[in-house]
Amino acid sequence: MKILILPDPAAAVARCVEIIAQTLTDNPQTVLGLATGGTMEPVYERLVERARAGEIALDEMTSFNLDEYVGLPPEHPQSYHTYMAERLFGPLGLDPARTHLPRGDAEDPAAEAARYDAAIAQAGGIDLQLLGIGGNGHIGFNEPSSSLASPTRVKTLTLATREANARFFGPDETVPRFAITMGIATILRSRHAVLLATGAKKAAAVAAMAEGPLSARCPASALQMHPRATIVLDTEAAADLELRQYYETVHPKGQEVPLG
């Protein structure tokens, strides 16, 4: 794992955006794996700004989002379809045929999950997978106890996750109980995985991911098995890392240092 520790959340977001921008510059037809959640909001804001400034182009990329709530149709205000449409796809006028999310309203969610994995494979696999992390160590909606070899499938959300995500829903709405999520095996097949975590609430999960045992207790620890995982953190999210000083020596302020 490459662990990059940036001085504050804005710098961590900027570093993450830089990695995405570089990937798109190297290959405009990149297949991107996209994530939702509060952590990603400033990432999409910055991507839209940079695309509007003509610094990057996203119109040739293909994207696959990590997950979607079961039972929510795409037009539901709290669906991840809507999240993406409002924050990235809409503002950039991207061709909907290139942007994919699982259908939460599919009649047979299990079949939809299998179809989704097949569609990713059909597109040639994911080049760059963007990830956040849940306070309980989930990636996508792979909750603790998820098989580390799981394909895309339906998962039952934990109460902690439903409570954490309740802030996106209205007072009279309930957070769905199930989601379709890319599996951990699907995520591990990506060619490069970039996980962004900011804030003190993520510190324990980040330490378990990077330095804890490889365990379904912390699904993000599966990234220890990824051949190319980059973890982008601010100092608060990095606070519980025992080897923090080492990571800061290898990548001072989260930057690459030439060998030699």
Binding site for ligand GLP (CB under 6 A): 35-39, 66-67, 132-134, 140-141, 161, 165
Residue whose CB is less far from ligand GLP, 62 or 161 = 161
Distance CA 84, CA 216 (A): 29
Question: What is the phi/psi pair of residue 99, to 5°?
Answer: -110, 125
Please report the sign of the dihedral spanned by the C-alpha atoms of residue 69, residue 72, residue 78, residue 81. Answer: positive
Q: How far is the CB of 201 from ligand GLP (least distance, A)?
A: 7
**Catalytic option among 68, 143, 234, 236:** 143
Q: How far is the CB of 254 from ligand GLP (least distance, A)?
A: 19
Which structure tokens are listed for 129?
């997978």
Crossing angle for the helix pair 41-52 and 9-26, nearest 10 degrees? 50
Closest residue to ligand GLP, based on beta-carbon distance? 132
**Catalytic option among 81, 100, 138, 226:** 138
Residue whose CB is less far from ligand GLP, 99 or 161 = 161
Whether 49 sits among the annotated catalytic residues: the reply is: no
Q: How far is the CB of 188 from ligand GLP (least distance, A)?
A: 16
Residue whose CB is less far from ligand GLP, 24 or 101 = 101
Contact (CB, 8 A) for 26 and 184: no
Q: How far is the CB of 38 from ligand GLP (least distance, A)?
A: 3
Residue whose CB is less far from ligand GLP, 67 or 127 = 67
**Catalytic option among 81, 127, 136, 236:** 136
Which structure tokens are listed for 160?
């902690």
Whether 81 sits among the annotated catalytic residues: the reply is: no
Residue 257 backbone class (left: φ over 0; alpha: ψ -120 to 50; beta: rest): beta
Whether 165 sits among the annotated catalytic residues: the reply is: no
**Helix residue spans in 27-140 (DSSP H):** 41-52, 80-84, 90-92, 109-122
CA-wise closest residue to 146 among 247, 260, 223, 72? 223
**Catalytic option among 65, 67, 112, 236:** 67
Q: What is the DSSP string of 143-211?
A: -TT--TT--SEEEEPPHHHHHHHGGGS-TT----SEEEE--HHHHHTSSEEEEEE-SGGGHHHHHHHHH
Residue 234 backbone class (left: φ over 0; alpha: ψ -120 to 50; beta: rest): beta
Residue whose CB is less far from ligand GLP, 36 or 99 = 36
Q: How far is the CB of 41 from ligand GLP (least distance, A)?
A: 8
Whether 138 sits among the annotated catalytic residues: the reply is: yes
Q: Which residues are catalytic?
A: 67, 136, 138, 143
